[in-house]
Structure 1
């Protein structure tokens, strides 16, 4: 992993190695897997389709709801636009009602965010989750003050890892690419940062794990929220 050079303001307090940090949502700061799996399986059951174990959804999520629905629909419906739109609407309706049933922040996440904010680090969220779902989840579990900006999937931009939405977030934040870090739990997240010219850090506690993050070329991989805070703060 790349080492972070530590600078000091007064000889005792380290200057943050990164002044802006953009977080993925699902699998990074919120454990949403069980609710996503429940919504997917409920939708499958409505049609009499096969369902999947919760752990199988680790590899179905990450590219947004449209791709998630495509991945749990039976192959025989590939290219059936009418069935896809119906299934997507059913999934969104159920998930919208049940997205908070089991979802919770990963242990230590809120404390980490508060430590970073206290050190003057600007925080944001960029996720492939539909914005209409992402924004209320952030408000419920993290409040309105911790993140300077929350950006979910909207029709105006292609989803991550394409660069336009990340560059939009950077512009809105007034962030310097040289001191901005993108943090996530999957290969999509590592590419999201790199495609926008940013360093990318992978978190091994998420949906995919260390091997995928390293294979994707993560600049850093951390195992705990404490390690991530130390990386960001240059400690």
Structure 2
């Protein structure tokens, strides 16, 4: 039994750190700076894709990402909060012999520092994320990389996340997916992306993980 967890919007709430770092980058570029609530859509997609959309495909994307990481890597990654019930869930799954991994589009070095800071690293076999050049930022590529490295059967694994990118990445690699509703993706977004089920609270997540990591046929959730 294997479970891959997204980080932002699934294990922790990164809203403050991400939105403030985006605002910092925009301010440094001399661009209009939206309110934080207008930037939460950027939590989930890759940072390059988000800035490309935000800036209208401008040539400033590389510089925007650099400025974002300048602040996020020193301040923003700790402007973060573990969702209530997550440590207990991870402890329960580990006691039930579920092998746990992190699969995040965030830079691997940032993900490891966040999980170390919140004392969550101890629950995971390995923490996987993207590289500075954007390699493995797409969840399809990231999960493919994890499968190559870990060599487990995708039929015995599940991807847990709050955005469509998690479900799309899972489906492309033969994994089922669970959508969590306490993050930043809508229920409709997750259902349309093909999650097997939706879960509304961390304390309710263990049962579907255990069920869906059995190698049996699965069906997508319905609205």
Q: TM-score range by the shorter chain?
A: 0.7 to 0.9
CA distance in 2, matches of 1:102, 1:182: 25
Residues paired across the two proteins, number = 211
Aligned CA RMSD, in angstroms, stands at: 1.9
Q: Give yes or no for the alignment of 1:161 onto 2:139.
A: yes
Distance in 2 (CA, whole Å) between partners of 1:151 and 1:101 is 19
Cα displacement (A) at 1:136:
0.8
Partner Cα separation in structure 1 for residue 52 and residue 37 of structure 2: 17
C-alpha deviation, 1:101, in angstroms: 4.2
The CA deviation string for residues 133-188 of structure 1, in whole angstroms up to 9 with x for no partner, is 112112111343211011111248443232x4212212433322111000100111
Query: 3-state DSSP class of the match of 2:174?
Result: coil
Instruction: Find out whether 1:200 has 2:177 as its counterpart.
Output: yes
Distance 1:25 1:172 in 2: 20
Pick from 144, 149, 174 the counterpart of residue 121 of structure 2.
Answer: 144
Superposed displacement of residue 201, structure 1 = 0.5
Residues 1:158 and 1:168: Cα distance change in structure 2 (over 3 Å) = closer
Contact 2:136/2:145, CA 8 A, preserved across alignment: no
Identify which range, 113-122 or 140-149, moves more after superposition.
140-149
Q: Note if contact 2:180-2:201 (Cα within 8 Å) is conserved in structure 1.
A: yes
**Structure 1 Cα separation of the partners of residues 129 and 101 of structure 2:** 11
* 1:175 and 2:152 aligned: yes
Alignment map for 1:89-104 (pairs within 5 Å): 89-104=66-81
Would you say the 8 A contact 2:105–2:130 is kept in 1?
yes
The structure showing larger relative contact order (alpha-carbon pairs under 8 Å, at least 6 residues apart) is 1
Paired with 1:122 and 1:228, the residues of 2 have a C-alpha distance of 15
Tell me the TM-score normalised to structure 2 length. 0.87
Q: Distance in 1 between matches of 2:137 and 2:151?
A: 21
- Structure 2 CA distance, aligned partners of 1:28 and 1:187? 13
SS at match of 1:234: helix
Separation of aligned partners in 1, 2:179 and 2:146 = 19
- Per the alignment, residue 21 of structure 2 pairs with 39
Pair 1:69-2:47 in alignment: no
Contact conserved, 2:24 with 2:67, CA < 8 A, in 1? no
TM-score normalised by length of structure 1: 0.83
Cα distance in 2 for partners of 1:172, 1:132 equals 18
The farther-off stretch of 223-232 and 150-159 is 150-159
Larger Rg: 1
Aligned in 2, Cα 1:79/1:43: closer, same or farther, shift over 3 Å? closer
State the secondary structure of the residue aligned to 1:142.
coil
